[in-house]
C-alpha cells in the first residue's frame, strides 16, 4: 500500500548516550513518494475539514478530535510500514485510519453514527477498528492504547511473524502510569513495538512544560534502556526516515524504540475547545512556517515533480473522495434498532 | 454470664411489636427451640423460640406491653450455676446496628437487626422563612460550595486535570485559581491513578483534598486507590487514620460520547463499605451536599452530571447552607405510587410524575440524593403509603441501585406492596454512539410512565 523509499540504514541514527539517539537525516523521496505523501496528507486534511463542517451542522456528535497539522506523522510512519504491521492510537484517530488504507466512506459514516460506518455506528469518532487493515483502534481512554499496543507486539513475538506494532500517543498520555509499566515489559521481553509519541505541545489546555518534568519524550524510556530520538513531525521525510530506522531496529529483535514526533495541532483539542491557552500568533507561525502539506507542495513544485495544475488535479480528486464520503455518511441509514443488543458477547 | 433475650424481628419489615403472652415464667428452664413467648406484629402473631439453654432469671418486659422495639431486652436467661444475683452482669446486648446495618442482609430465618424507627419525613433543614432564593446553575452551585469551604478551611484544596488555568474542563472550578492561587488549585498531569493516590496520601496526613476527575469514566484508572486505599484505610488502621476527601466530577452519559465516556458509577461505588456516595439533582442539593462532603471525615464520591451542570434551580441565600448526607428528599409528595430516583434520573421521574398526574395517578417522587448510606426509611415509609414502587436510574440493570432498593423494600415492606417493584435503568449494553441507539439505550419518560401504570394496574 505504501510506496517504499530507499531504505535508511540502521546506522544512520547515531547514539549520543545509551538511549539518546540522533535522528537520521530526512529520507530522500523520489517523485512517486513525494506525490504519494502529498496526496495522503491532503486526503487527511480535507477529510478533517469536512468532519469539522459536518460537526458544525450537527451530523456528528459527541467528541470529535481533528488531526489537522499532524498529518505528516502517520503518513510518514505508514509509508515505511509493511503489510502486517499494526497501528493503534487514541481518539485523534481519523488520520491514522485513512493512512492504514481504511475507506473514507466507512470512517465518515462512523462519525455520523450510521450503519455503514466501520463500527456500524456504535463506536463513533473515538472508537473505530479495522481488522483487515490491522488498525486496532481508536481508544477514548488516554494511555490505554499503549498497553494494548504492547500486547500486539507481544503477540507478534509469540508468533514470530516479523510484524511490528506502532502505538501512537500524545505528550499528555505519556504521563500515564501504564505507559511505563508497558515500557518495562516491552524492554524486558524485547517486544517489537514502536512507541510513537505525537508531541503536539498541548494536552487539552496544558502545555508540555506545565505537565511534564522531563519534556524530552524520546528519553521517557531511558530507565528501561529503550532508545529514542526526537524527529521533525512536520516533515514527512523526517518521519519516514525515523520510521525506517525504528522498524528495522524492531524487526531485528532489538526490542522497543521511542520516536518523539514534534508536531502541532492547529485546531482546538476537540470541537468544543476554544483554545485560549495559546496565542493566534503561535498557531499562525506553525501554519505558515512548518505546515507539512505546504512544505511538500513547495518541494514538488521546485523539483518539477508536478505543476500547479497537476497539484490542483490531486486536490480535486481528494475533494471528490471526501465529498462522496460525506454524502454517503449523511444519506446511509442509522443502525437498525436491533443492533443495540448485538456484539456484546459472542 | 447471664444472657439478655432481645425482642426479635420476626419479619423482615418488623420494627416493633407487642409482647402478647409469656409462655414461660421466671424460674422456668428452657431448651433451645422452646417457645417462650408470643409476639404480635401488625400483621400476625408469632412465636418466639429460645436460642440458648438456661433458666429464665427475670422477665423485663411484661405481658401485654405494646410497641416494644426490636432488640429491646425482654428477659434474662441464667446459665449453669448462675442465680438472679448475677443479673446486671448480663452480657452486652447485641450491638445496635451500625448505620449500614439497616441494609438487611441476614437470612430471613434469623432475627435480623432492627430497621431504624419510622423516620420523620425527610426534608432539608428548615430554611428560615423569608430566605432569599437565588436562581443558580448546578455549575455555579458546585463552584460556590468549593469556594466557601476553601475560604473557611485552609486544609481544603482542589486538584485534577485542567482545574486551574483552564478553569475546569467543564468550568466547575471557574475562578478558583484566581482566588486561591496555584498552591490550592492544582493542575495535574493526565495521571489519574497517580494523583488519586497523591490525594489519598495527603488526606491521610490530614489535608482535605477535593480530587476532580475530568469525568468519572477516567476514575476507573484510579479505582484501586479509591477502593483499596481511600475506602479501606480507616478500617485497616483500626480507626487511626482515614481519607477525609472528596472525589468529584461528572458521571454518566453526556451526549453521544459513546461507550467509554458514558457510564453511571452510582452502583459501583455504592458497593463499597468505607465510602459515602452522593449524586445530587438540584443546584441546592449540589451546593449543600458538596459542602457537607468536603467537611465529612470520610472519602466521599460525589457524582455530578454534565447535562445538569447548566440547569438552574433556586438555591437559598444563606451564609452556610449545608445539607445532611444520607437523607433523601421528597421532591413531590403523592399517594398512588412511589418513584425513587437520583441525579439525572430525576429528570425522567419528574416529567413522568407530571404526565401521570394528568392521567389521575398521583406519584410521590423521592430524590435519593445519597446512595450510601442510603435513606431507606424514607423510601420504605413512602412505599408503605403508596404500596407501589418504581425506581429510575441511567446505570446498567444488573446489580443496580434499583435492585438494591427493591430487595430492601421487599424485606422491609413486603406486606405493603401491591405490585412487584419495577426498576427502570439504562439498557444492558455499552453506550452506543449512533443517535438512535443512544436514545434506546437510555431510560425515557415513557418507560417510567408505563412502569407506574403497570404497578398501579392503570393499564
Ligand atoms: C484516562 C483519561 N483521562 C482524561 C481524559 C480526557 N482527555 C482526553 S484527551 C486529553 C488530552 C490528551 O492529550 P495528549 O495525550 O497530548 O493528546 P492530544 O490530544 O494532544 O492528541 C484528555 C485529558 C481521557 N480521555 N482519559
Ligand atoms: Mg498533545
- A201-257 pLDDT, tens digit per residue, is 999 999 999 999 999 999 999 999 999 999 999 999 999 999 999 999 999 999 999
Query: CB-based contact (8 Å) between B182 and chain A?
Result: no
Calpha distance A76→B331 (Å, rounded): 60
Nearest ligand for residue B188 CA: 1
Interface residue of A142, A173, A269 to substitute, partner B, most B CBs within 10 Å? A142
Which residues is B366 bridged to in the sheet?
B330, B340
Q: With H, G, I as helix, E, B as strand and everything else as coil, classify residue A56.
A: helix
Q: Mapped to the 3 state alphabet, what secondary structure does chain B carry? A: CCEEEECCCCCCCCCEEEEEEECCCCCCEECCCCEEEEEECCCCEEEEECCCCEEEEEECCCCCCCCEECCCEEEEEECCCCCHHHCCCCCCCCCCCCHHHHCCCCCCCCCCCCCCCCCCCCCCCCCCCCCCEEEEEHHHHHHHHHHHHHHHCCCEEEEECCCCCCCCCCCCCCCHHHHHHHHHEEECCCCHHHHHHHHHHHHHCCCEEEEECCCHHHHHHHHHHHHHHHHCHHHHCCCCCCCCEEEEEECCCCCCCCHHHCCCCHHHHHCCCCCEEECCCCHHHHHHHHHHHHHCCCEEEEEECHHHHCCEEEEECCCCCCCCCCCCEEEECCCCEEEEECCCHHHHHHHHHHHHHHCCCCEEEEECCEEECCCHHHHHHHHHHHCCEEEECCCCCCCCHHHHHHHHHHHHCHHHCCCCCEEECCCCCCCCCCHHHHHHHCCCHHHHHHHHHHHCCCC
Task: Give dist(CA B144, CA A52) in Å, integer.
Answer: 35
pLDDT in tens, chain B (459 residues): 788 888 876 544 456 788 989 999 999 998 876 788 888 766 566 677 777 788 999 999 999 998 888 778 899 989 887 887 777 655 444 433 343 434 444 344 433 333 333 333 335 666 788 999 999 999 999 999 999 999 999 999 999 999 999 999 999 999 999 999 999 999 999 999 999 999 999 999 999 999 999 999 999 999 999 999 999 999 999 999 999 999 999 999 999 999 999 999 999 999 999 999 999 999 999 999 999 999 999 999 999 999 999 999 999 999 999 999 999 999 999 999 999 999 999 999 999 999 999 999 999 999 999 999 999 999 999 999 999 999 999 999 999 999 999 999 999 999 999 999 999 999 999 999 999 999 999 999 999 999 999 999 996
In ligand 1, which atom is closest to the CA atom of A169? Answer: 15
Query: What's the farthest any 2 CA atoms get from each other in chain B?
Result: 78
Q: How many Å lie between the alpha carbon of A145 and the closest alpha carbon of chain B?
A: 13
CA geometry: angle B15, B17, B18, nearest 5 deg:
165
Distance from CA of B226 to the nearest CA of A (A): 16
Residue-level pLDDT at B12? 45
Whole-number Å distance between alpha carbons of B195 and B188: 7
pLDDT number for residue A258: 98
Task: Check CB contact under 8 Å for B256 and A121.
Answer: no
Secondary structure of A247-316 in the HEC alphabet? HHHHHCCCCCEEEEEECCCCCCCCCCCCCCCCCHHHHHHHHHHHCHHHHHHHHHHHHCCCCHHHHHHHHH
Residue to mutate, B214, B222, B224, B250, ligand 1, most ligand atoms under 8 Å from C-beta: B214
Q: Is B225 on the interface with A (CB under 8 A)?
A: no
Q: Which of B82, B149, B261, B393 is catalytic?
A: B261
* Residue B331 annotated as catalytic: no
Number of the ligand 1 atom closest to the C-alpha atom of A143: 1
Consecutive H or E run containing A229: strand A228-232
Contact B258 A173 (CB under 8 A): no
Average pLDDT in the A286-292 region? Answer: 96
**Strand, coil or helix: what is A161?**
coil
User: Residue B163: which of B133, B203, B124, B190 has the closest Cα?
Assistant: B190
φ, ψ (nearest 5 deg) of residue A191 = -85, 140
Distance CA A38, CA A30 (A): 12
From chain A, which residues contact B within 8 Å (Cβ)? Answer: 61-63, 110, 113-115, 119-127, 139-143, 172-173, 175-177, 203-206, 210-212, 277, 334-335, 337, 339-341, 344
Q: Please answer whether residues A59 and A112 qualify as being in contact, where contact means their C-beta atoms are separated by less than 8 angstroms.
A: yes
Give me the catalytic one of B140, B192, B212, B364: B192
Percent of chain A having pLDDT more than 70? Answer: 96
Task: Give the residue, out of B189, B190, B214, with the most ligand 1 atoms within 8 A of its beta carbon, to mutate for a pocket test.
Answer: B190
| Closest Cβ–Cβ partner in B169, B256, B429 for A124 | B256
Q: Is B394 a catalytic residue?
A: no
Do residues B197 and B225 lie in contact, with contact meaning Cβ atoms separated by under 8 Å? yes
Q: How confident is the model at residue A84 (pLDDT cuts 50, 70, 90)?
A: very high
Given CB atoms, is B96 within the 8 Å cutoff of chain A?
A: no
Any idea which ligand is nearest the CA of A127?
Answer: 1
Ligand 1 neighbours (beta carbon < 6 A): A 92, 140-142, 170-173, 200, 202-204, 269; B 161, 190, 192, 214, 218, 221
The answer to whether the CB atoms of A124 and B433 lie below 8 A apart is yes
CA count, 13 A, side-chain hemisphere, B52: 15
Alpha carbons B386 and B330: distance in angstroms, whole number: 14
Sign of the torsion formed by the C-alpha atoms of B127, B332, B290 and B98: positive
- CA A141-B345-B215 angle, 5° bins: 20
Closest chain A residue to the Cα of B428, Cα to Cα = A341
Does the interface predicted TM-score (ipTM) exceed 0.90?
yes
Backbone Cα Rg of chain B: 25
Inter-residue contact B36 to B3 (CB < 8 Å)? no
H or E stretch at A177: helix A177-188
Asked if B20 and B38 touch (Cβ cutoff 8 Å), the reply is: yes
pTM score: 0.84
φ/ψ of B29, rounded to 5, equals -95, 150
Helix (H, G, I), strand (E, B) or coil at A86: strand
Give the distance from CA B159 to its chain's centroid: 26
| Strand B16-22, strand B208-212: pairing | unpaired
**CB pairs < 8 Å spanning A and B:** 130
Contact status, residue A62 vs residue A125, Cβ threshold 8 Å: yes
Mean per-residue pLDDT for A167-181? 98
- Selected residue of A64, A108, A111, A113 to mutate for chain B interface (largest B Cβ count, 10 A): A113
Amino acid at each position: 500500500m505504501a510506496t517504499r523509499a530507499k531504505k535508511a540504514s540502521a546506522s544512520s541514527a547515531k547514539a549520543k548516550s545509551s538511549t539518546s539517539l540522533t535522528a537520521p537525516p530526512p529520507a530522500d523521496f523520489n517523485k512517486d513518494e513525494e506525490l504519494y505523501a502529498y496526496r495522503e496528507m491532503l486526503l487527511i486534511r480535507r477529510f478533517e475539514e469536512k468532519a469539522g463542517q459536518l460537526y458544525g451542522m450537527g451530523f456528528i456528535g459527541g467528541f470529535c478530535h481533528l488531526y489537522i497539522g499532524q498529518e505528516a506523522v502517520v503518513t510518514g510512519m505508514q509509508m515505511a510500514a509493511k503489510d502486517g504491521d499494526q497501528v493503534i492510537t487514541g481518539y485523534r484517530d481519523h488520520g491514522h485510519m485513512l493512512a492504514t488504507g481504511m475507506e473514507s466512506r466507512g470512517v465518515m459514516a462512523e462519525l455520523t453514527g450510521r450503519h455503514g460506518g466501520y463500527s456500524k455506528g456504535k463506536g463513533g469518532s473515538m472508537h473505530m477498528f479495522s481488522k483487515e487493515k490491522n488498525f486496532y483502534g481508536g481508544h477514548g481512554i488516554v494511555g490505554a492504547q499503549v498497553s494494548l499496543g504492547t500486547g500486539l507486539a507481544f503477540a507478534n513475538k509469540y508468533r514470530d511473524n516479523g510484524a511490528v506494532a506502532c502505538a501512537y500517543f500524545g505528550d499528555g498520555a505519556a504521563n500515564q502510569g501504564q505507559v511505563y509499566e508497558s515500557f518495562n515489559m516491552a524492554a524486558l521481553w524485547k517486544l517489537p513495538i514502536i512507541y510513537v509519541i505525537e508531541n503536539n505541545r498541548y494536552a487539552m489546555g496544558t502545555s508540555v512544560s506545565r505537565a511534564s518534568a522531563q519534556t524530552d519524550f524520546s528519553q521517557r524510556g531511558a530507565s528501561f534502556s529503550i532508545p529514542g530520538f526526537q524527529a521533525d513531525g512536520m516533515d514527512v521525510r523526517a518521519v519516514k526516515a525515523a520510521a525506517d530506522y525504528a522498524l528495522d531496529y524492531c524487526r531485528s529483535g532489538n526490542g522497543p524504540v521511542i520516536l518523539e514526533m514534534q508536531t502541532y495541532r492547529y485546531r482546538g483539542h476537540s470541537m468544543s475547545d476554544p483554545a485560549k491557552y495559546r496565542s493566534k500568533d503561535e498557531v499562525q507561525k506553525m501554519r505558515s512556517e512548518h505546515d507539512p502539506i505546504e512544505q511538500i507542495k513547495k518541494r514538488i513544485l521546485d523539483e518539477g515533480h508536478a505543476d500547479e495544475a497537476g497539484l490542483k488535479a490531486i486536490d480535486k480528486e481528494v475533494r471528490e473522495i471526501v465529498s462522496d464520503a460525506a454524502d454517503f455518511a449523511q444519506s446511509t441509514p442509522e443502525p437498525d434498532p436491533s443492533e443495540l443488543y448485538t456484539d456484546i458477547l459472542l | 454470664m447471664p444472657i439478655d433475650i432481645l425482642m426479635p424481628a420476626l419479619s423482615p419489615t418488623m420494627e416493633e411489636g407487642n409482647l402478647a403472652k409469656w409462655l414461660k415464667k421466671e424460674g422456668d428452664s428452657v431448651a433451645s427451640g422452646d417457645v417462650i413467648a408470643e409476639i404480635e406484629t401488625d400483621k400476625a402473631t408469632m412465636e418466639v423460640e429460645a436460642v440458648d439453654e438456661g433458666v429464665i432469671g427475670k422477665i423485663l418486659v411484661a405481658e401485654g406491653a405494646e410497641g416494644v422495639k426490636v432488640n429491646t431486652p425482654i428477659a434474662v436467661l441464667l446459665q449453669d450455676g448462675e442465680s438472679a444475683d448475677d443479673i446486671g452482669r448480663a452480657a452486652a446486648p447485641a450491638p445496635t446496628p451500625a448505620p449500614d446495618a439497616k441494609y438487611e442482609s441476614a437470612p430471613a430465618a434469623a432475627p435480623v437487626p432492627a430497621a431504624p424507627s419510622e423516620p420523620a419525613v425527610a426534608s432539608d433543614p428548615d430554611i428560615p422563612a423569608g430566605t432569599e432564593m437565588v436562581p443558580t446553575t448546578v455549575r455555579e452551585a458546585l463552584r460556590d460550595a468549593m469556594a466557601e469551604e476553601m475560604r473557611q478551611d485552609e486544609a481544603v484544596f482542589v486538584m485534577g486535570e485542567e482545574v486551574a488555568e483552564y478553569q475546569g474542563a467543564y468550568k466547575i472550578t471557574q475562578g478558583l485559581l484566581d482566588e486561591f492561587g496555584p498552591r490550592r488549585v492544582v493542575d495535574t498531569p493526565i495521571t489519574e491513578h497517580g494523583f488519586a493516590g497523591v490525594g489519598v496520601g495527603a488526606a491521610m496526613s490530614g489535608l482535605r483534598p477535593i480530587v476532580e476527575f475530568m469525568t468519572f469514566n477516567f476514575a476507573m484508572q484510579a479505582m484501586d486507590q479509591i477502593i483499596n486505599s481511600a475506602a479501606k484505610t480507616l478500617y485497616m488502621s483500626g480507626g487511626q487514620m482515614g481519607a477525609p476527601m472528596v472525589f468529584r466530577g461528572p458521571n454518566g452519559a453526556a451526549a453521544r460520547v459513546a461507550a467509554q465516556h458514558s457510564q453511571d458509577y452510582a452502583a459501583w461505588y455504592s458497593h463499597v463499605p468505607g465510602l459515602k456516595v452522593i449524586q445530587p439533582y438540584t443546584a441546592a442539593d449540589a451546593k449543600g451536599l458538596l459542602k457537607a462532603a468536603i467537611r465529612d471525615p470520610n472519602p466521599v464520591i460525589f457524582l455530578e452530571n454534565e447535562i445538569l451542570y447548566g440547569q438552574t434551580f433556586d438555591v437559598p441565600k444563606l451564609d452556610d447552607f449545608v445539607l445532611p448526607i444520607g437523607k433523601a428528599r421528597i421532591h413531590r409528595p403523592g399517594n398512588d405510587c412511589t418513584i425513587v430516583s437520583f441525579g439525572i434520573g430525576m429528570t425522567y421521574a419528574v416529567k413522568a410524575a407530571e404526565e401521570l398526574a394528568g392521567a389521575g395517578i398521583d406519584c410521590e417522587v423521592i430524590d435519593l440524593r445519597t446512595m450510601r448510606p442510603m435513606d431507606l426509611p424514607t423510601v420504605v415509609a413512602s412505599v408503605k403509603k403508596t404500596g407501589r414502587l418504581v425506581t429510575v436510574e441511567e446505570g446498567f440493570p444488573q446489580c443496580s441501585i434499583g435492585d438494591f432498593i427493591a430487595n430492601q423494600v421487599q424485606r422491609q415492606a413486603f406486606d405493603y406492596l401491591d405490585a412487584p417493584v419495577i426498576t427502570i435503568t439504562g439498557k444492558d449494553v455499552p453506550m452506543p454512539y449512533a443517535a438512535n441507539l443512544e436514545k434506546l439505550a437510555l431510560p425515557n419518560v415513557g418507560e417510567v410512565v408505563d412502569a407506574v401504570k403497570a404497578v398501579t394496574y392503570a393499564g
